[in-house]
Amino acid sequence: MPIIKHEIDPLADTVITLHNPGAPFALWKESLDGLADDEDLSDVEEDTKSAVPSVNEMMTKHSILEYEYEMKESTIRSSDGGSEATAAPIADNGVPASSAVLDSESTVEGEMGNEVQYFVSSRHLMLVSPWFRRRFTSDTFSESKPSALDGRYHYSASDWDEEALLILLNIIHLRTRKVPASISLEMFAKIAVIADYYELEDEQALDRNVKDWTANIWANSYFPKIYCRDLVLWICISRIFCLREQFEQATAVAIKASWGWIQDLGLPIHEGITSEIDRARCQAIEQVIAKLHQLAERYSDIGYSCPKFKHHSPQCGACLYGTLMKYMKRWGYLTPRPEAPFVGMRFYNVCNKIRRIQNPQWWHTSRQAHHHYSSSEAFMLHPCKLGSEIDTIVQDAQAEIKGLKLKDIHVNHSQ
């Protein structure tokens, strides 16, 4: 493959060589979906069915956005006078062969491997990146010395997305006209991963672009309401760029909709986040199951008192207890009782399942004392329902679930 060269700074004193550009990114393991229970993912909240698209719909919309962005970029390149490969060549020493070289246009040289080179300024890199600052100023790194061949500093990178790194370097070098106003969620995640690696996530230079990209994606695509790849991308992006609202919302969905330890997709999400999500998921499921057992114990107690007709307490307790126990046995919540880590169990599905319980129906006389039965006496449907008790259990459990707070997450960069 030919070497592609991007001239970010015409007076560049540094060359970043990207090896293996466009490596597979954040691969989702579909086979793990088989671990989940087979209940549908209808949200237990009232407005979710109408508001939540399918995974295919979400993926399609993101794909369209990315396609439109790529087409827009192609149009811009064409209007500038040709494709990237038509830019004037750069000599072997990296110096522009003529003053006609277009900024940041790509140049193809001979077949020298699958590489991309970025010609940049060390001062710009050091201003925004502690990672680069350490390597430029510390004698412990071989890259801190310029090459004897061309007098430039040389750094290697691998597996990054070519376009994502180019966008990030254009931002660092204040080339705002070269930075797209909108990007896809996929590209946003790729940029975030690179920014995290070079420790740029707190840099003010990125703030405006991050806010614009976030607002654009937020307005033009669905925020995931199910556990899927896009949700994991949001967790990664919001953690790296300190997007508090998005981080809390994404982790709350993960707690409710995941069925075990979430996939990190090889992204810098960090184990502390994934473990806390799973801990909260297990806690929420345990709360629901524990409340069901407590409800069964209340109905089975000899002292149970019917809240509607106290004189029918024995019959009321027996009907509700028997029905609840049958359903709990069907759900597998009795013996053995499910325990953490609840592999394959989603909070959403647990709630949906128990809300489908059918209320037992039985009739009784309206008399206070009915041992003298008369055929003229009226019978009435007993008003106590399991459904209302189940709804309370679900609502209480939902209210307890909160997304994670960024201020509680502490991440140390490995040097």
The model's pTM: 0.76
Distance CA 393, CA 332 (A): 18
Instruction: Tell me what pLDDT residue 411 has.
Output: 56
Q: Note the pLDDT tens digit of each residue in 257-312.
A: 999 989 999 999 988 999 999 999 999 999 999 999 999 999 999 999 998 888 88
Q: Six-digit token pair at 269?
A: 């999400």
The pLDDT score that the predictor gives to residue 110 is: 35
Cβ atoms of 12 and 121 within 8 Å: the answer is yes
Instruction: For the beta carbon of residue 335, count every other beta carbon within 10 angstroms.
Output: 7
Residue 47 has what pLDDT? 39
Enter the tokens of residue 96.
């522009």
Domain layout of the chain by residue ranges: 2-222, 283-400
Looking at domain 2-222, what is its CATH homologous superfamily? Potassium Channel Kv1.1; Chain A (3.30.710.10)
286, 393 contact by CB (below 8 A): no
What pLDDT sits at residue 244? 95
Closest to 61 in 3D by CA, of 153, 178, 186: 186
Residues making up the chain, counted from first to last: 415
Report the alpha-carbon angle 9-208-184, nearest 5.
Answer: 85
Identify the pLDDT of residue 409: 80
DSSP string of 51-106, one letter each residue: HPPPHHHHHHHHHHHHHHHHHHHHHHHHHTTS-GGGSPPB-TTS-BSSTTPPTT-E
Give the burial class of 24: count Cβ atoms within 10 A of its Cβ; 0-12 exposed, 13-18 middle, 19 or more buried.
exposed
Distance CA 226, CA 230 (A): 9
Query: pLDDT (tens digit, 9 = 90+) per residue, 204-221?
Result: 789 999 999 999 998 998
Q: How many helices (H) and strands (E) does the chain have?
A: 13, 7
Q: Which residues of the chain have pLDDT under 50?
A: 40-112, 369-370, 413-415
